[in-house]
Amino acid sequence: MGAMLLIQAINTGAQLLAKVTFNHGTFVFSLLTYRHVVAALCIAPFALYFERGSWKRPGLLAWVLLFFSALTGITLGVGLCYYGIRDTTATYSASFGNLIPIVTFVLSVIARMETLDLKTTPGKVKVIGALLCIAGTVVTALYKGFSFHVGDRRPSMSTSDGGTTHLARGTVMLVLSSLSYGSWYILQAKLLRVFPLKYFVAFLTCAIAAVQSAIVGVCIDRDPDSWKLGWNLQLTTIVYMGVLATAATLCIFNWVIARKGPAYPSMFGPLTLIFVGILEAFILGNAITLGMLLGTVLILVGIYSFLWGKRNQMDGSQLTTKSETCTAKTSSKVADDNVIINISTLEGVYEESTSDETLPTEIVKSERNA
Residue 159, pLDDT score:
36
pLDDT at 198 over 80: yes
Stretch among 37-41, 220-224, 328-332 having the lowest mean pLDDT: 328-332
Asked if 126 contacts 286 with a C-beta cutoff of 8 angstroms, the reply is: no
Residue 111, pLDDT score:
76
Separation between Cα atoms, residue 32 and residue 9, nearest integer Å: 20
Mean pLDDT along residues 305-325: 68
CA-based R_g, the chain, Å: 31
Share of residues in the chain with pLDDT > 70 (%):
77
Mean pLDDT along residues 159-172: 61
What pTM was computed for the model?
0.71
Domain boundaries, the chain: 2-322
Angle ∠(65,69,74) on CA atoms, nearest 5: 160
pLDDT at 20 over 90: no
Residue 333, pLDDT score:
54
Mean pLDDT along residues 100-123: 78
Tens digit of pLDDT for each residue in 219-278? 999 999 889 988 888 899 999 999 998 888 877 877 787 777 766 776 676 677 778 877
Within the chain, residue ranges assigned H as helices are 2-23, 28-50, 60-70, 77-87, 90-96, 99-110, 121-142, 167-194, 198-220, 233-240, 249-260, 263-266, 270-279, 290-369
Separation between Cα atoms, residue 122 and residue 120, nearest integer Å: 6
Asked if 205 contacts 73 with a C-beta cutoff of 8 angstroms, the reply is: yes
pLDDT at 338 over 70: no
Q: What is the DSSP letter of 54?
A: T
Residue 93, pLDDT score:
82
pLDDT at 365 over 80: no
Tens digit of pLDDT for each residue in 135-159? 887 787 778 787 777 655 444 433 3
Q: How far is CA 14 from CA 217, 243, 245, 253, 300, in A?
A: 20, 11, 7, 16, 22
Mean pLDDT along residues 71-78: 93
What is the maximal distance between C-alpha atoms in the chain?
131
Separation between Cα atoms, residue 88 and residue 175, nearest integer Å: 13
* Mean pLDDT for all residues in the chain: 77
Under the banding of pLDDT at 50, 70 and 90, the label for residue 368 is very low
For residues 319 and 123, the model is more confident at 123
